[in-house]
Amino acid sequence: MVVHGTIVSNMPELPEVETVKRLLASQVLGKHIMNVDVLRSKNIEGDAKVFSESLIDCTIESISRRGKFLIFHFDNNLVLISHLRMEGKYFYYDKITKPSKHDLVLFGFEDNTSLFYNDTRRFGTMKLSTEDKYLKEPPLSNLGPDANTDVSVKYLKGCLKNKRIPIKQALLDQSIIAGLGNIYVDEVLFLSKIHPLTPANRVDEKSLKLVLANAKIVLNKAIDAGGSTIKSYHPGKGIDGNFQSELNVYGKKNEICPICGATFRKIFVNGRGTTFCPHCQKNVAMPHVVAITGPIGSGKSLASEYFRKHGYDVFNADACVHALYERKDVQERVLKLVKELNGKFDKKALKDALVKNKKEKQKLEDYLYRLVDEEAFNFIKSHKEKDKVVLEVPLLFQSHICDYADEIYILSIDKKIQKERLQSRNINIDEYLKLNESYYLQEDKKKATAVISNDGDVASLYSKLDKIICDK
């Protein structure tokens, strides 16, 4: 027995459905149907008995595709429209075979071969129509043009001009453009340098032209590679789609962007997991982000306050951490991470414990980075109408919050002057310097727009900041 099949776990997109179409065309074209058994009528649109009886004595003449739909064309003018949904698949058998529990529709051919529609999650659909009607009625009449065809910028701009939804959500709308799903929208937006949350009506013509060009390139490459093998998708038994090896961003959360070195982020756009580069993919509806960092005593707060006086709203990471420490869930997590606290949350004891135990310090920082990162991102998103904001983050690079910044300024300070300034703060200087010794190690000067020396007085610092502010 030879078994071929198409297995889909992530909802198959245009390349995967095209691969299925080509595989089936090599297996069942010219096959004459002798019997049809519908084992689950809910997958059939319309009367299941009529569906079965109508296809008996039909011959499959061709198989086409429209968006993510497979279309079987028969010799008697009938058309079968099939949508695989999440896990629909077709298995072809070259001899009589008993169905499994997930085989829902069975097509038996005159030569004793068969084609089984198998669907573990049972979301797939089948509908009968005719050659003269199938493109004029739902579901195909609701589809926009295929994304790998010559879609005009004028058409796409017209569809998006009144849509304030994120561009990612708009490109997933099959009535606007057909065939793009979660995987390939992420890829197209990355190549086009567009943030997935950018309002659709704010994407300019130049960027829309890139979207359409990259959609064709990505989809056609994926078709040539047989689609992407994601989770349990395979174009056929013993066959893998190979395009997943060429994916730039999809499924690569926390990996490094090969273009800029930033860390890929994952968010959810209208409920869909979305991976993007926060540095390469800018949102034109988001404010211009200036990030300030540097070791303790370097003047970060002075700089931030000066920016605030000039109209910038400021996110302070230290203040964010203090607020987080007031949350009960955070306190409970800290107690689990820092064993020396012995079940009692106390900031002074926490500081002492972190000085002694670098491993626990690292674990706590990793946990806090995630929370502060989320707060920083929400801060930026909440300032859509503001054209400029500042992020003041001591460990800017280690936390990867630097990825959100359009400009980065590192405040540097001579260690002797640093100690002199800290003496006026009535704190344990050595203790703070131990906690902050990694600040110098995190100063990635290649990522910084500029390094500002703050060894002088306040007036000197303000004079240097004036040059930055005046350039905006």
Structure tokens at 147: 């994304």
CB within 8 Å of 219: residues ≥ 6 apart: 14, 15, 147, 148, 179, 180, 184
Determine if the peptide bond prior to 139 is cis (ω within 30°).
yes
Three-point CA angle 212, 218, 222, nearest 5° = 145
Which is catalytic among the residues 68, 168, 252, 300? Answer: 68
**Closest to 53 measured CA to CA, from 75, 34, 29:** 34
- 415 alpha-carbon distance from chain centroid: 43
Q: Is residue 13 annotated as part of the catalytic site, yes or no? A: yes
Please indicate whether residue 22 is annotated as part of the active site: no
Give the CA dihedral 420, 426, 429, 434, nearest 10 degrees.
Answer: -140
193: Cβ–Cβ under 8 A, 6 or more apart, which residues? 207, 210, 280, 281, 282
Task: Establish whether 12 is a catalytic residue.
Answer: yes
Structure tokens at 264: 């890929």
Nearest one of 203, 186, 318 to 255, comparing CA atoms = 186
Any idea which residue has 């009506």 for tokens?
201
Residue 141 to residues 11, 45, 138, 174, 177: CA-CA distances in angstroms? 21, 16, 5, 11, 12
Describe the chain by its helix, strand, coil percentages, rounded to 5.
Answer: 40, 20, 40
Question: Which one from 22, 202, 272, 282 is the annotated catalytic residue?
Answer: 272
Q: Active-site residues: which are they?
A: 12-13, 68, 272
